[in-house]
Chains A and B, each alone.
Chain A
Amino acid sequence: MEILSRKSINIKIKELKSDIGNIKDLELSIGKFSEEKWTEAEGPTPFPSITALREWDKKLLDRYKPFYLPFCDLCCLCTYGKCDLTGNKRGACGIHMSAQQSRTVLLASCIGAATHISHARELVTYAIKKFGTDYPLDPGGLAVEVEAPIIRLVCGVKPEKLGDLETVLDYLENQLTQLLSVTHTGQEGNNLDFESKVFHAGMIDQVGMEVADIAQISVFGFPKADPDAPLVDLGMSVVDTKKPVILVIGHNVPPAIQIIDYLKDKRLSEEVEVTGICCTAIDATRYSSKVKIIGPMSWQLRYIRSGIPDVIVVDEQCIRTDNLIEAEKIRAPFIATSEKNCLGLPDRTRDSADDIVADLVSRKNLGVLILDPEKVGEVAVKTARAVAPKRKKSRTSLSTEEIIEQAKTCNQCKMCRRSCPNDLHIPDSMKAAGKGNIGMIGDMYEECIGCARCEQACPETIPIHNIIVSAATQRTKNESFRIRAGRGAIQDIEIRKVGGPIVLGEIPGIVAFVGCSNYPKGGKEVAEMCIEFARRRYIVCTSGCAAMSAAMYKNEDGKTPYELFPGTFDAGGIVNVGSCVANSHIAGAAVKIASIFARRTLRGNYEEIADYVYNRVGAVGVAWGAMSQKAAAIASGFWRLGIPVVVGPHGTKYRRMLLGRADREQDWYVHDRRSGEKVYVGPVPEHLFFAAETKEEAMVMIAKLCMRPNDTSKGRAIKLTHYIDLHRRLFGTTPDDAHLFVRTLTDIPITMKEDLTKILREKGWKETIIPDPTLLVNQVEKRGVR
């Protein structure tokens, strides 16, 4: 018997024997979902516990063995330690290095999931307070009938109104508490069980993201699955600096929306610029296309130091914790708005807006905490208008002469380079700048991730980051791009149209560029990859900081990728779904293919749907600049659904990869649902979590990872064409594993017949069949064959 929620009670009795008789399969529902008329049959795992999907996880982990890359030889989480775990020694609690690494991955994924889930809780609570529990959920109007595919899949419920989301959040918070407890000293000791729980954290993270985004789409009227969502401005130079400028940073959009609403109510929208960084910016443009996006999270320092913003408003997540100090340097009042990010500021929530404004303008308070989005809107606007004429846009940027003078003080100790995550050659550039050539240091702007560790390391206190940005003034003056506002969900009709071609392999894949901006060689690489795959007629999705980086590129005609390619979820589209929490729509699209195209039952039926997605939907996530714990959780959610994730080289710092072994034939058998026979299908997809060293390696791997056992010969030939073509162009040779992806001679691309036939002969290739693939024995049983 299980009781699933404190607010709604759902009692299931599988079998009860008592003195008065036997009861079988009784289900009682009281509360939130009791009136639902959803007739879909319930699958085996609604509201799954932390071990309910362990067997599925084991199947994946059996193929994709963790390769651990310890970031530290020690464990220092309890007072037994520090314990030296070098060479798989066991620590005082008995843990060994493999388990310790996966334990750390679980911690990171829990942090990430907690962040999205608490974000969702805050949004839902705010929305219910404002609009009521019965406010209908409507993420896509008539175009979206499957409104919450992940919630349906995981929880087995069909949310219809805001209040329904509370029950889902209750479940998520419960699971998260259990998962976090697993990381305590003396709990789990097996690395693969830790990994299974990492997958669970990722799965509940996806649910949390979906809750957050469908709630905000519904109540704020964001684009509802709209492929023609408006194009909006992006870049440092799109801001009208003659007007008062407000900067919003973070991920939780209500304060930014209240700023926009206040401006609208007071007919001031044309008088004040609202600009944003990171996901709050993306979500604010989903609300109003007048908002201007400055750039991804790595633009925080450079934009604040430009002196342009008159007021800085922060909410939560991925916000530099020294922004308050930076704001002070440019004399910009600072407003914190989240309980999760108070920054030591006085809580002025209960004070009158005018009193707060007066104290910010007079600089009695350099910053304030206001935990009421409406009040934030009024205070931010009034303060910006009051301080803008006085501030004269104080900036910390340097003239060419000042750069040269500063550079002359460099003693070439190299501490800046040794602190730079990307090992940028700062000392050489500084030497050149000291001699009057600032071009070299200005060129670093493209690859600098804006962390300013160089400045922290410099014993001469040279403002290195400022120098890099100041030397690139010409670039920032030209920073003007267009990005399509986040469209949210994928329409059911789009899924109906592409479901077949995707599952058969004729659309070669869905490639989703997501995540943060910790890039090895700048964000331009994201734009280049998006364009390459869109041109090859893959479906390209973007979200979050990666969506912004994809926009920061122009072709020779001055067009950005979002202007060159349509926003439809179809071959050759570039689809910006929105902010971080909108990532759920990408996973949701894969799930909807199973539901809408293949008519598989979603409700509480995770294992079967993940098996379907894994074997049939050629999707790959790419987090080229993945940095955060949220990115770890997002990736984990994709893994459990059987969707591989490629990260940039910094991604090796996540401490482990999940890699398949193409050379082990025994790893790549599936059950044929038709016959029940075990069939070799080749290493598809070869890896589940892979860090690429370079953009070129990533592109070849993305094409390879889009292959699935279910591809028809026509589909496989298309996918092989892209893989081999990219391999030849970027590596200079035909791949020597091409034969592993040929099942029958009809899989061979016609233009490559001669080459590949020769390779097949050399490798002793044998023809095999194309099965109806599954990893689940029960799927064979369903068809009546064993």
Chain B
Amino acid sequence: MATTESWQIAEIAGPKKATLIVKPEVADAMIKRAKHPVLIVGHLAAEIDLDDKKMIDYLLELAQKGNLPVIATGHTNRDFLKRGFTKAKIMPAVEIGQRLTDPEWKGIDGKEPYDLAIFAGLPYYMEWTILSGLKHFAPNLKTMTLDNTYQPHASWSFPNISVKDWIENLKSIIEKVEE
């Protein structure tokens, strides 16, 4: 049974913990329900192998099919460019974290505040601390992580799942986000 246990053992949060994404439909529903979502991709996405692809390939497909704006943190943009994707906005993870706590900030497109921030590919502990900042100081924002490790400070997170289950979930989310 899936548990709400942090991937890094000692990173215990507090009373409010992420709801589990027990099936991919949950993630899809959140993405579809969001008026102004954003996908934030860290550098590990280009390092993590998921069968014959990298994690970034799945995220790119999700962004394109779900029409999600993308923020590339670290040096991830280089890997998007290698894949011919030039639309990512480059912004450090702590900067986007801070901007998201500002209810007045209208996003990289200047339209309106984001209501859903989807994180993936950041170092676990860094994503953990940034999600904690958002949990406490961005009350109007929902957060979701698509990593295969449980992030207690997100609004929604997978539990700690195997790579095989992760790939299946990502494929399913991508497939359904288009429908």
Contact = CB atoms under 8 A, between A and B. Distances in A.
B15 A690 contact: no
B136 A87 contact: yes
Given A73-B13, A88-B137, A697 B78 contact: no
Contact of B125 (A65, A653, A692): A653
A649 B13 CA distance: 19
A693 B130 CA distance: 12
Interface string A635-667: 000000000000001101101010101010000
Interface string A403-439: 0000000000001001101010000000000000000
A770 interface: no
B92 A692 contact: yes
Contacts of B122: 693
Q: How large is the interface on A (under 10, 10 to 19, 20 to 34, 35 or more residues)?
A: 35 or more
B120 to A, nearest CB: 13
Contact of B9 (A84, A87, A418, A733): A418
B123 A693 contact: yes
Query: Chain A's interface: helix, strand, loop or mixed, by majority?
Result: mixed
B129 A71 contact: yes
B57 to A, nearest CB: 17
Contact of B81 (A520, A649, A732): A732
B113 interface: no
A423 B123 contact: yes
Contacts of B14: 72-74, 84, 86
Given A67-B101, A652-B94, A520 B123 contact: yes
Contacts of B99: 661
B148 interface: no
Interface stretch (B19-27, B28-36, B69-77, B166-174): B69-77
Contact of A70 (B89, B124, B133): B133
Interface in B112-169: 122-126, 129-130, 132-133, 135-137, 139
B7 interface: yes
A765 interface: no
A457 interface: yes
A418 B137 contact: no
A701 B137 contact: no
A694 interface: yes
Contact of B124 (A86, A423, A457, A730): A423
A415 B92 CA distance: 30
Nearest to A420: B8
Nearest to A521: B123
A598 interface: no
Interface in A680-735: 690-694, 696-697, 701, 730-733, 735
A84 B14 CA distance: 8
B133 A649 contact: no
Interface of B: 7-10, 13-16, 42-43, 73-75, 77-78, 81, 89-90, 92-95, 97-99, 101, 105, 122-126, 129-130, 132-133, 135-137, 139
B94 A67 contact: yes
B9 A415 contact: yes
A1 interface: no
A245 interface: no
20 contacts: A67-B101, A72-B14, A73-B16, A86-B14, A88-B136, A97-B137, A419-B9, A520-B123, A652-B125, A657-B98, A691-B93, A693-B74, A693-B93, A693-B126, A694-B43, A694-B74, A731-B90, A732-B77, A733-B77, A736-B89
Contact of A693 (B10, B73, B81, B133): B73
Indicate the member of A415, A423, A649, A730 with the most B CB atoms within 10 Å.
A649
Interface in A736-754: 736
Top-9 shortest CB links A-B: A73-B14, A696-B75, A693-B74, A67-B98, A652-B129, A69-B129, A694-B74, A732-B81, A69-B133
A700 to B, nearest CB: 8
Contacts of A732: 77-78, 81
A653 B89 CA distance: 26
Contacts of A520: 123
B51 to A, nearest CB: 15
Contacts of B137: 67-68, 88, 97-98
Given A65-B98, A653-B129, A86 B16 contact: yes
Contacts of B73: 693, 697
Contacts of B43: 693-694
Nearest to A419: B9
Indicate the member of A65, A71, A84 with the most B CB atoms within 10 Å.
A71
Contacts of B42: 693
Contacts of B7: 418, 423
Indicate the member of B8, B13, B97, B136 with the most A CB atoms within 10 Å.
B136
A87 B124 CA distance: 22
A685 B92 CA distance: 15
Contacts, number: 123
Contacts of A701: 92
Given A691-B93, A696-B75, A731-B90, 10 more contacts: A67-B137, A68-B133, A73-B132, A84-B15, A86-B14, A418-B9, A423-B7, A693-B93, A697-B92, A732-B81
B8 A419 contact: yes
A86 B77 contact: no
Contacts of A88: 136-137
Contact of A690 (B8, B10, B94): B94
A84 B10 CA distance: 19
A105 B70 CA distance: 33
B163 to A, nearest CB: 11
Interface in A52-79: 65, 67-74
Contacts of A692: 74, 92
A419 B135 CA distance: 24
Interface in A557-610: none
Given A652-B126, A693-B43, A731-B90, A68 B136 contact: yes
Nearest to A84: B15
Given A73-B13, A649-B123, A659-B95, A697 B133 contact: no
Nearest to A691: B94
A71 B132 contact: yes
A423 B97 CA distance: 22
Contact of B133 (A67, A421, A736): A67
Given A86-B136, A690-B92, A696-B74, A67 B123 contact: no
A653 B126 CA distance: 8
A714 to B, nearest CB: 28
A681 B14 CA distance: 43
Given A68-B133, A86-B136, A657 B94 contact: yes
Nearest to B78: A732
Nearest to B123: A649
A97 B94 contact: no
Contacts of A423: 7-8, 123-124
B139 to A, nearest CB: 6
Interface string A339-380: 000000000000000000000000000000000000000000
Given A693-B43, A693-B73, A736 B90 contact: yes
Contacts of A71: 129, 132
A655 B137 CA distance: 13
Nearest to A70: B132
Contacts of B8: 418-419, 423
Interface in A443-457: 457
B74 A86 contact: no
Contacts of B135: 86-87
Contacts of A97: 136-137
A650 B78 contact: no
Nearest to B137: A68
A503 to B, nearest CB: 28
A97 B9 CA distance: 24
B128 to A, nearest CB: 8
B15 A697 contact: no
